[in-house]
Amino acid sequence: MRFLKSLYIHNTFFVYLAIASSCFLLSFWVSILYPIAWIFTTVIAVLFFVDVLLLYRFKNAVNARRLLPDKFSNSDKNPVSITITNLYPFNVLLDIIDELPIQFQKRDFLYKKSLSTMQVHDFSYEVRPVERGEYFFGNLNIFASTKLKIIKRKFQFQNEQMVAVYPSFIQMQKYDFLAISNRLTEFGLKKIRRIGHTLEFEQIKEYVQGDDFRTINWKATAKRALLMANQYQDEKSQPVFSIIDTGRVMKMPFNGLKLLDYAINSTLAFSNVALKKHDKVGMLTFSKTIETFLPAVHKLTYLNNILENLYNINTQFNDSDFGLLYAQLKRKVTQRSLILLYTNFEHISALKRQLSYLQAISKKHMLVVIIFENTELDKLISQDAEDLQSIYHKTIAEKFSLEKRLMVKELQKHGIQSILTAPEQLTVNTINKYLEIKARGLL
């Protein structure tokens, strides 16, 4: 039974049968074709059994292994490696079919390779997940055939391998590396001129030429009979919170990725940068209830806690309760903090309904409201209108695009910082805003 399950007929075998059948049919009119048909059929049968003998004579004649990373990075290309070894004493033709997780909706994976005896072959392919969660790979199927191409023998390896898809740690590592190597401008991150002094005192030192004369400490100068100056350092360990709205407005997809996942990837990358800048980072998610709250902590190992919590976040089909958010921040976050609020408003009326809560939060904290541009509307706006219907669609698109800009103006009018960004540029624009606030000493 196992023999039959692993035996597959090659396409060329059916071609041979078709030729033999045609000869038998034509032999009714041309008698000489009858013995030719029998000879041809006999040859096919002999080749069939020879092929079976060659392929099934050796028990474990092909070895294959799929190499998966510990976890996949969401929205990034992740490599999957396969190693194949031919243990037959002759050359074989291999068809490799890997059963990819159902989330990829790909059922046409096929890789062909000819291997000589004892040859080891490595190859890899890339997958791009767009949802967090568990991804199950099925069987790694290898179909081996000889040069006769009569039958194929099926080998199966590594059934049910699972890989968890986490928020984009590849993006996080990319910005981490660029920050260290001072190449952030290549990805759009700006160098911002530092204005004034930060307020954190470090020490009193002797005044040297070039120091700001406004930092001279006259009391210390009188005691030492030398010009002494105060030295300041960048303010550190300031609390920074990433707040993610998990309501229905964050369910909208762009390029296959939900707004929620863009916010999650940005939170991870931004938290890593803030920790490297010696600030304390925390996180909160909410919709109808407060789902996750992590207090602000300055530890590099704390990033693992953030990563695990981000992995388990899902959108809810509810309208988010901003009043509950304000109450939670008032109770749990007592020190003035930088609050990055990832949310979205499609209509200015929706913003105005929540504006009183946003104003109340901004009175005690440095609040930055992050809302998303609808990039699909930009495509409609840029197209030429050719008929009445396209004019109508373009007008409506321009109206919605204008409302987004009006939201930014409305927030600015009430002294609330904001970011209006395309989903793909979210991480860069968020880090830029953070660096700008730090450089200007607004927190």
What is the tens place of the pLDDT at every residue in 226-245? 888 887 655 567 899 999 99
Q: What pLDDT does residue 123 have?
A: 95
Cα–Cα distance measured from residue 57 to residue 320, given in angstroms and rounded to the nearest whole number: 66
Q: What pLDDT does residue 234 have?
A: 56
Q: For strand 161-166 and strand 71-73, is the pairing parallel, antiparallel, or unpaired? A: parallel
Is 129 strand, coil or helix?
coil
Question: Do the beta carbons of residue 16 and residue 117 sit within 8 Å?
Answer: no
Cα–Cα distance measured from residue 200 to residue 196, given in angstroms and rounded to the nearest whole number: 12
**Which of 249-288 are b and which e, b meaning 16 or more Cβ less than 10 Å from the residue's Cβ?**
bbebebeebbbbbbbbbbbbbbbbbbbebebbbbbbbbbe
Question: Do the beta carbons of residue 227 and residue 213 sit within 8 Å?
Answer: no
Q: What pLDDT does residue 261 have?
A: 94
Cα–Cα distance measured from residue 354 to residue 345, given in angstroms and rounded to the nearest whole number: 10
Q: Output the CA torsion sign for 120, 121, 126, 129.
A: negative
Cα–Cα distance measured from residue 221 to residue 199, given in angstroms and rounded to the nearest whole number: 21
Which helix (H) or strand (E) segment holds residue 90: the answer is none
Q: What pLDDT does residue 357 have?
A: 95
CA angle (277 as vertex; 272, 282 as ends), nearest 5 = 50
Residue found by looking up tokens 């568990």 in the block: 134
Q: What pLDDT does residue 196 have?
A: 47
Residue 324 vs residues 319, 343, 354: alpha-carbon distances, Å: 12, 15, 11
Per-residue pLDDT of the chain (443 residues; tens, 9 = 90+): 555 556 666 667 667 767 677 766 666 666 666 677 677 777 777 888 888 888 888 888 999 999 999 999 999 999 999 999 999 999 999 999 999 999 998 888 999 999 999 999 999 999 999 999 999 999 999 999 998 888 899 999 987 899 999 999 998 888 876 555 444 555 555 555 554 445 555 678 888 877 777 788 888 888 888 888 887 655 567 899 999 999 998 988 888 899 999 999 999 999 999 998 889 999 999 999 999 999 999 888 899 999 999 998 987 778 899 999 999 999 999 999 999 999 999 889 999 999 999 999 999 999 999 999 988 777 777 777 777 777 777 788 788 888 889 999 999 999 999 999 999 999 989 988 998 888 777 77
Q: What pLDDT does residue 389 have?
A: 77
Which helix (H) or strand (E) segment holds residue 195: the answer is none
Query: Which residues partner with 315 through β-bridges?
Result: none
Beta carbons within 8 Å of 307's beta carbon, 6+ residues apart: 166, 167, 169, 268
Give this prediction's pTM.
0.80
Q: Output the CA torsion sign for 10, 11, 15, 18.
A: positive
Cα–Cα distance measured from residue 89 to residue 118, given in angstroms and rounded to the nearest whole number: 7
Q: What pLDDT does residue 225 have?
A: 82
Cα–Cα distance measured from residue 161 to residue 147, given in angstroms and rounded to the nearest whole number: 33
375-382 helix and 388-413 helix, angle to the nearest 10 degrees: 130
Q: For strand 366-372 and strand 338-342, is the pairing parallel, antiparallel, or unpaired? A: parallel
Q: What pLDDT does residue 178 have?
A: 55
Q: Identify the CA nearest to 190 among candidates 442, 430, 443.
A: 430
Q: What pLDDT does residue 202 have?
A: 64
Rg (CA), the chain: 33
Question: Do the beta carbons of residue 189 and residue 435 sit within 8 Å?
Answer: yes
Q: DSSP code of 190?
A: P
Q: What pLDDT does residue 92 have?
A: 94
Beta strands in 53-107 (DSSP E): 62-67, 71-73, 78-86, 92-98
Beta carbons within 8 Å of 70's beta carbon, 6+ residues apart: 163
